[in-house]
Chain A
Amino acid sequence: MIKNIICTVCPRGCSISVKGENSIVESVENYGCKRGIEYAKAEFVCPVRILTTVVKVDGKDELIPVRSNKPIPKSKILECMEEIRKTTITLPVKMHQVIIENVCDTGVSIVATKEF
């Protein structure tokens, strides 16, 4: 299988073509620099993204912005959103305080990005 992957490491946005099957990469072509090779390989095997959203505060109008402390597999993003939506927190909250540990068995935590 050949996949065309747009590299997002720098603004040049090279369209890199990766050949392989599942988690095995056979070749990487059309990259503008070395950083692109690593990115394209990872993106081919298992694309991951930082997830950011907000959580509600119990009994208040406030929303607290949160993020995943590490990238989450793209395929699990919507499932994680479901779980975060069900969560409410109580104040005060500290910067990078863990809100949900190991969200949806990803091994990644959801943490606050604001002190309040």
Chain B
Amino acid sequence: MYKIDCTVAVIGGGPAGLAAAISAKKEGAEKVIIVERDNALGGILQQCIHPGFGLTRFKEELTGPEYYSRFTSRLEEEGVDVLLNTMVLEVNGKTNKIICVNGEYGLTEINAKSIVLSMGCRERTRANIVVPGTRPAGLYTAGSAQRLINRQNVMVGKKAVILGSGDIGMIMARRLTLEGAKVELVVELMPYLAGLTRNRVQCLDDFGIPLKLSHTITAIVGEKRVEGVKIAPVDQNKKPILEKEEFIPCDTVLFSVGLIPENELSKGAGVEINPITNGPTVNQYMQTNIPSIFASGNVVHVNDLVDNVSSESETAGKYACLYANGKLNSNSEVITVKTGSNVRYVCPQKIALQEGKASLYFRVLSPDENVTLIAKDGDTILARKKELRVSPGEMCNLSIDVSKIVNGVTVEVVKE
């Protein structure tokens, strides 16, 4: 078997993997390698041709390809190695060996001192959310439709209904319209928009595409090809009110119903998975329960802004390098961050009690206005920030000084 030795191995060449690899190299890792199954770097951003990336990091609104190019163009000068067309099959958490398969070398073994998992996520499908009806052609997840249209030059249909008002769904509503299709409707189960307001304005309102909140698709109709969908409003318990069901003719249905972190490899390696984020449980260094394995990006928790992905991945890369070089103390006491009122999850879930700062990223359970975000240790406030508006679709963050923690940390969002 072909063998490669390296200091830090990064699995996945999306924005997370790119930032982690560059950061590990900058920190002084001797040999850093990115292993990517696709034939090019950039991950999901290769198909995200719309603008909206990099406002925080670069103070400019970039398209997906422009954003990742800012990183890929630095790989050579930084001296990061890249292995494309290489699918990782297994990560061994005990030996730090990675087994992958590459067209040229065949089965390959990579021996790393530390590993960064950055495999991103995959889309939830119709099966995941159980929509009844037939199984005709014309059903796509929004992301696969995006890939077909933006990378493969395949148009998916002429008349579409989109289930889910997340950013991907809305962006695809605009994309389909620009390509000459008619988007009849976007249907959202929740009483509020899942994605950014900006996307509703620029992707739906701009083109007069109607949005129905508190509605769902109750059935898909059609034998060979989709002929339409039945939609109905839902009651408070999200149960469809069938008396109000109506039929909308269409030939295409896109599902934009969320993403699930891609963690088969992580589980195989023995990495502990958090039941709420569906990603590895990590500490402030983005280190998992296996000290040599780090994780960052959408594989850890689904991010709405790639800027956050890049910064948490730089943390992962930096500490993966320090660990590899024996400079990260892994013996300190570890606490679990608790979620208080209106907080669904906090990432990192753990904090190793050492020097330095920790960035806490978290999501609220339900939308609210005029609130204060608080991180506290008992009665001691570690950090607080006022926010005019919070919503489950937009990540919040607070930065705390770890050396100030005595007993533990609770994050909460309270009304003033």
Contacts and interface: CB of A to CB of B under 8 A. Distances in A.
Interface residues of A, number: 25
Interface string A81-99: 1000000000000010000
A113 B49 contact: yes
A113 B206 CA distance: 24
Nearest to A112: B65
B239 interface: no
A58 to B, nearest CB: 13
Most B CB within 10 A of own CB, among A49, A51, A52: A52
B197 A67 contact: no
B51 interface: yes
A3 interface: no
A52 B197 contact: no
A56 B152 CA distance: 10
Contact of A13 (B51, B61, B65, B198): B198
Given A6-B197, A49-B206, A113 B66 contact: yes
Given A8-B198, A11-B389, A65 B178 contact: no
Contact of A8 (B151, B202, B394): B202
Contact of B69 (A51, A67, A114): A114
Contacts of B278: none
B96 interface: no
A63 B153 contact: yes
B69 A95 contact: yes
Interface in B119-137: none
B179 to A, nearest CB: 8
Nearest to A51: B178
Nearest to B61: A50
A54 B64 CA distance: 13
A59 to B, nearest CB: 13
Nearest to A33: B388
B388 A12 contact: yes
B328 to A, nearest CB: 35
Nearest to A84: B178
A113 B65 contact: yes
Contacts of A56: 153
Given A8-B201, A113-B66, A52 B49 contact: yes
Contacts of B63: 52, 65, 67, 113
A16 B205 CA distance: 15
A6 B69 CA distance: 32
Contacts of A29: none
Contacts of B151: 63
A108 interface: no
Nearest to A56: B153
Interface of A: 6, 8, 11-13, 32, 49-54, 56, 61, 63, 65, 67, 74, 77-78, 81, 95, 113-115
Given A12-B389, A54-B150, 19 more contacts: A6-B197, A8-B202, A32-B388, A49-B206, A50-B61, A54-B49, A54-B153, A63-B151, A65-B49, A65-B64, A65-B65, A67-B49, A67-B63, A67-B66, A77-B178, A113-B49, A114-B65, A114-B69, A115-B69
Closest 10 A/B residue pairs (Cβ) = A13-B197, A8-B198, A65-B49, A114-B65, A113-B63, A113-B65, A50-B51, A113-B66, A52-B49, A65-B65
